[in-house]
Amino acid sequence: MSTAPSTTTDEAPQDDAATTEPASKKRGPWAPLRPLALRLHFYAGILVAPFLLVSALTGLLYAASFQVEKMVYAHELTIPVGDTKLPISQQVEAARKAHPEGTVSAVRPSPEDDATTRVMLTGVAGVAPTHTLAVFVDPYTAEVRGALEQYGSTGALPVRTWIDEFHRDLRLGENGRLYSEFAASWLWVISLAGVALWFSRRRALRKVRGTTGRRRTLGLHGTLGVWVALGFVFLSATGLTWSKYAGESVTELRTSLGQTTPSVSSAASGGEHSGHGSASAAGGTGEHGVGLDKVLAAARAKNLGDPVEIVPPADAESAYVVRQVQRSWPEKQDAVAVDPATGEVTDTVRFADYPVLAKLTRWGIDLHTGVLFGLVNQIALMLLALALIVMIVWGYLMWWKRGRGSSFGRPIPRGAWAEVPPYVLVPAMAAVAALGYFVPLLGIPLAAFIAVDVVLGEIAHRRKKAAAV
């Protein structure tokens, strides 16, 4: 939620409810935990904030990139509405004449009257192996409107792809992904600790009106943090879903529970069509057996409405796969396999039949990436990113005012661990160990923080004891 303490027990007395309450009211289940939450929120906030700031700024840009993409690539994406759309096979043939390089890996027929058809090519020189070259074709005239490098199942074009990769890994590759996973791992912890600290303050000390200086900044910081904490926790959880290390743990958990995302079997029935050749051998147009148009018709007969993507067979023993690619609400993720020899549907998977966790993962990722509810979703993400940026600025401002920018300001006292009852401390340590396994970029730094904190606290205690002798 924040990057500096929402409240303290050791700073100015007028900021601390504990200094004005009777001792009998101070001791409760939360009392020994509050100093720990304060230390965690303060120090973790200061150290993690730079990573969160980069993530927020790049996330803000990504949320805006959808609308930018529509404007920048309007010529490729849209066309004047005509009378009758040409067969898909004819549109693909036109794309291949203009771009004979590579192999047809997928075709997305025009989903709307004013939208172009996309023909995706792989193995094209100069195009990254994880990307495709998307050739845009007018479905009414077969005119090729252009070709652009494309990435991902959402069909991101160069501008959005660049920002997406910058947000995900700072364009540093796999090692760069550690920054975003580190930020996502800690965002929910800092947020929830801040909320707990804010509500542990007396109501009179939470007000903003009539306050000045650090008290006012603290009030603004805490009030905004409470309002946006749920959004921060959501961004953290969904961001970890497809991260490098925590994402693998999530995948393993879903697999063990039988909650993986199902897919259609691309094996054709009986290999009867083996004499028809592979997709790449059929003139490089993706045509195989009965052809693209009959395959699309078979999928339509199974109620696969637009937008859809047709994936040609990978070899002579495979089937076509036609899948819906709508990631906005309501999700359209149904898929069918079509035998190239007969044009019959051999397998069907419906989104309605997905396991619960598979559905939640799909919805969560699409909401996180701004596609589930379109423009409204993107605006909400931009507001959350702006809120996080403001929270970080306020957090550092409080830190500066607290110690006038010297070192870490007046330090939060150590020794809080000794106040925690064993029945709370032992499960907490077990939770840290579990976090170290499932969310290593949270658990490992947290364990290190605890170890260093305990050691330094013990050293300070012994020095104090020695000085008193």
The CA distance from 291 to 203, in Å, is 70
* Mean pLDDT of the region 136-157: 96
The mean pLDDT value of the chain amounts to 86
Amino acid letter for position 88: I
Whether 47 and 180 map to the same domain: the answer is yes
Residue 301 inside a domain? The answer is: yes
> Does the pLDDT at position 34 exceed 60?
yes
Q: Is the pLDDT of residue 276 over 80?
A: no
The backbone torsions φ and ψ at residue 175, rounded to the nearest 5 degrees and listed phi first, read: -65, -35
Mean per-residue pLDDT for 366-395?
Answer: 97
- Asked if residue 244 and residue 382 are part of one domain, the reply reads yes
DSSP, residue by residue, 63-96: HHHHHHHHHHTHHHHB----S-PPPHHHHHHHHH
Checking if the pLDDT of 13 tops 80, the result is: no
> Does residue 28 surpass a pLDDT of 70?
no
The string of pLDDT tens digits covering residues 52-111 is 999 999 999 999 999 999 999 999 999 999 999 999 999 999 999 999 999 999 999 999
Phi, psi of 191 (to 5 degrees): -65, -50
Give yes or no: residues 269 and 320 share one domain: yes
Say how far apart CA 443 and CA 436 lie, in whole Å. 4
Q: Virtual CA dihedral for 250, 255, 259, 260, nearest 10 degrees?
A: 90
Residues 205 and 243 in one domain: yes
Per-residue confidence (pLDDT) for residue 403, from 0 to 100: 66
Q: Are residues 228 and 269 in the same domain?
A: no
CATH number at residue 127: 3.10.450
Asked if residue 182 belongs to a domain, the reply is: yes
Residue 25 vs residue 154, higher pLDDT: 154
Single out the residue of 56, 40, 54 nearest to residue 5, CA to CA: 40
The Cα-based distances of 75 to 17, 66, 137 in angstroms read 62, 15, 11
- Given a contact cutoff of 8 angstroms between Cβ atoms, the answer to whether 198 and 7 are in contact is yes
Tens-place pLDDT, residues 238-270: 999 989 999 999 999 999 999 999 999 988 775
pLDDT value, residue 128: 92
Distances (CA, A) of 305 to 109, 298, 334: 11, 11, 9
Question: How far apart (Å, rounded) are the C-alpha atoms in residues 194 and 184?
Answer: 16
Q: Which of 130, 156, 182 is the last residue of a domain?
A: 156
Whether residue 341 is found in the same domain as residue 403: no
Return the percentage of the chain with pLDDT > 90, whole number.
64
Would you say 75 and 147 are in contact if contact means Cβ atoms under 8 Å apart? no
| pLDDT score at 374 | 96
Same domain, 57 and 96: no
Domain extent at residue 271: 264-353
Check residues 32 and 399 and name the one with the higher pLDDT. 399
Residue 139, domain member (yes or no)? yes
- Provide the H-helix boundaries in 201-291: 213-241, 246-256
For the purposes of burial, counting CB atoms within 10 Å of the CB of 158, is it exposed (0-12), middle (13-18) or buried (19 or more)? middle
362 in a domain, yes or no? no
The fraction of the chain above a pLDDT of 70, given in percent, is 86
Judgement on whether residues 380 and 406 belong to the same structural domain of the protein: yes
Residue that is last in its domain, among 353, 387, 418: 353
Kindly tell me if the per-residue pLDDT of 217 is higher than 60.
yes
CA dist 15 and 402 (Å) reads 11
Say yes or no: 277 and 242 in one domain. Answer: no
Burial call 450-469: b when 16+ CB within 10 Å, e when fewer: beebeeebeeeeeeeeeeee
Is the residue at 89 inside a domain?
A: yes
Residues 423-443, mean pLDDT to the nearest whole number: 84
Mean pLDDT along residues 158-169? 96
In a domain, 56, yes or no: yes
- Is the pLDDT at 203 greater than 70? The verdict is yes
What's the CA gap between 188 and 180, in Å, rounded?
13
Tell which wins on pLDDT, 168 or 421.
168
What is the count of structural domains for the chain? Answer: 3
Residues 179 and 51 in one domain: yes
Q: Which residue has the higher pLDDT, 23 or 291?
A: 291
Tell me whether residue 448 is in a domain: yes
DSSP helix/strand/coil, 140: coil
Q: At what angle do helices 440-468 and 177-200 cross, to 10 degrees?
A: 60
Token representation of residue 363: 């919805």
Residues whose CB is less than 8 angstroms from the CB of residue 448 and which lie 6 or more positions away in sequence, other chains included: none
Domain membership of residue 70 (yes or no) is no
The answer on 327 and 281 residing in a single domain is yes
Helix (H) or strand (E) holding 137: strand 132-137
- Asked whether residue 234 falls in the same domain as residue 279, the answer is no
Per-residue pLDDT at 344 exceeds 80: yes
Q: Band of the pLDDT at 277, cuts 50, 70, 90?
A: very low
